[in-house]
Amino acid sequence: MKTFESGASPEPWTTVPLLAEGAAALRSANKSMGLGMDDADIELYTSLFVEDLKRDPTTVELFDISQSNSEHSRHWFFKGRMVVDGEDTGRNLMEVVGGTLEGREHNSIVAFKDNSSSITGFRSPFLVPSQPGQASPMTSVSRERHLLLTAETHNFPSGVAPFPGAETGTGGRIRDTHATGRGSIVAVGVSAYCVGALRLPGYALPWEHDGGVGQWEYPENLAMPSQIITDASNGASDYGNKFGEPVVMGFARSFGLRLPARDGEDKGERREWVKPIMFSAGIGLLDAAHALKDAPEEGMIITKIGGPAYRIGMGGSAASSMVQGDNDAALDFDAVQRGDAEMAQKVNRVIRACVELGEGNPIVSIHD
């Protein structure tokens, strides 16, 4: 007889003594749990619980707050006031980025409001199953489908654990493709990498080896550039192969340079991708009839599909929002998701079957 039981017991939740110890208790929890809170966060949440709620927070509450309100999830920096030379510009960075769409909406279907972007496509014949979701003959239908593009980076995970980090960079981006409009069709992928000086053994390059111990230090929780460029590439391709999405293009860049020292400096400024970039993009097809999500209504069925959530992959929002090297190495490693391309393909088949139903698509709104 076999079992999937691990024998492990869930870690019990506790309360953090803010009422008795104040901000010091939250600072301690922040460090031990890897919550990624800065001084402003500490002050805000201490005030919230001590002065407004008048109770101690639980560890579960603090963990949830740290993920939901992280820079990764909430974009405090990108949506904050942008002050240049002491003057408020009146626009935040997110609005500056979104301003590229102003005056160019003529062919934009989805932009800055969903998991992916989409531009106007065309009507053409497509092969779909005569009975979507079942083994059945293919039949030709004429539908208008828009072109979809989504892109994201998986920098922190690929730096800490290159193979699973890049693997789930591909997987997470595929979920973004799926979750656009009322569901879409996954087509092909793009993978790209930017890392620091490779410093390959037996292949010394003058700009990579400038002499002196400690010239090229890296945070101890980061893999070296040569490992990242190899393992991350393998991870992204591994997931794509298992899922069934071909990688059709990409690029790789390596750069690390020490600028000449100026007067009074021991060594010049370092310019390098110390924290790597793992760029993942995907192209898909979005039925015109499914391009925009409908509003949920009371009484509708909420369905959650996919695999189990293990302890690994928890805390990623906070961990990826920190300055690299500030977090405990073990917490960083725990925050990296692990890929499950087989489960992703099962989810893909469900969503694709819904999309191929055309006007009968039961999906009202979908998120990754």
Residues 6+ apart with CB under 8 A from 282: 116, 149, 150, 151, 173, 174, 176, 177, 186, 187, 188, 189, 190, 245
Band (pLDDT 50/70/90 cuts) for residue 335 is low
- Look up residue 302 and give its DSSP letter: P
pLDDT category at 265 given cuts 50, 70, 90 is: confident
pLDDT, position 318: 47
User: Are the C-beta atoms of 193 and 252 separated by less than 8 Å?
Assistant: yes
Return the number of other C-beta atoms located less than 10 Å from residue 54's C-beta.
8
Per-residue pLDDT of 286-316, as tens digits, reads 999 999 999 999 999 999 888 765 554 455 4
- Going by pLDDT thresholds of 50, 70 and 90, the confidence category of residue 120 is very high
pLDDT at 192: 95
Instruction: Determine the pLDDT at residue 205.
Output: 80
pLDDT score at 330: 55
Go through 227-246 and write b for each residue having 16 or more CB atoms within 10 A of its CB, e for each that does not. Answer: ebbbbbbebbbbbbebbebe
Residue with tokens 């920098």: 155
In 3D space, the residue among 170, 209, 172 whose CA is nearest the CA of residue 190 turns out to be 170
Q: Which 3-state string (H, E, C) describes 96-114? A: HHHHHHCCCHHHEEECCCC
In the chain, the domains with their CATH numbers are 18-69 (1.10.8), 113-301+329-360 (3.30.1330.10)
User: What is the per-residue DSSP string for 198-224?
Assistant: ---TT---TTT--SSTTTT---TTSPP
Mean pLDDT of 17-33: 92
Model confidence over 51-103: pLDDT tens digits? Answer: 999 999 999 999 888 888 877 777 888 888 888 899 998 889 888 888 888 87
Average pLDDT, the chain: 85
The tokens of 87 are what? Answer: 């003057």
- For the record, the structure tokens of 364 come out as 């009202």
Statement: residue 213 has pLDDT above 50: no
Write the pLDDT tens digit of every residue in 244-258: 999 999 999 999 888
Q: Report the C-alpha gap between 194 and 229 in whole angstroms.
A: 8
Per-residue model confidence as pLDDT tens digits over 223-233: 899 999 999 99
* Partners of 363 in the β-ladder: none
Asked whether residue 214 carries a pLDDT value surpassing 50, the answer given is: no
pLDDT for 336: 59
Q: Tell me, what's the pLDDT at 295?
A: 93
Fill in the amino acid letter for 64.
D
The per-residue pLDDT for 329 is: 53
Indicate whether 210 pLDDT > 50. Answer: yes
Helix (H) or strand (E) holding 72: helix 71-74
H-run or E-run covering 177: helix 162-178
3-state DSSP percent of the chain in helix, strand and coil, to 5: 35, 20, 45
Q: What is the predicted pLDDT for the residue at 313?
A: 46
Instruction: Choose between 79 and 337: higher pLDDT.
Output: 79
Residue 77: predicted pLDDT? 82
Number of C-beta neighbours around residue 247 at 10 A: 19
Q: What is the pLDDT of residues 126-136, one digit of tens each?
A: 899 999 988 99
Local confidence band at 236 (pLDDT 50, 70, 90 cut-offs): very high
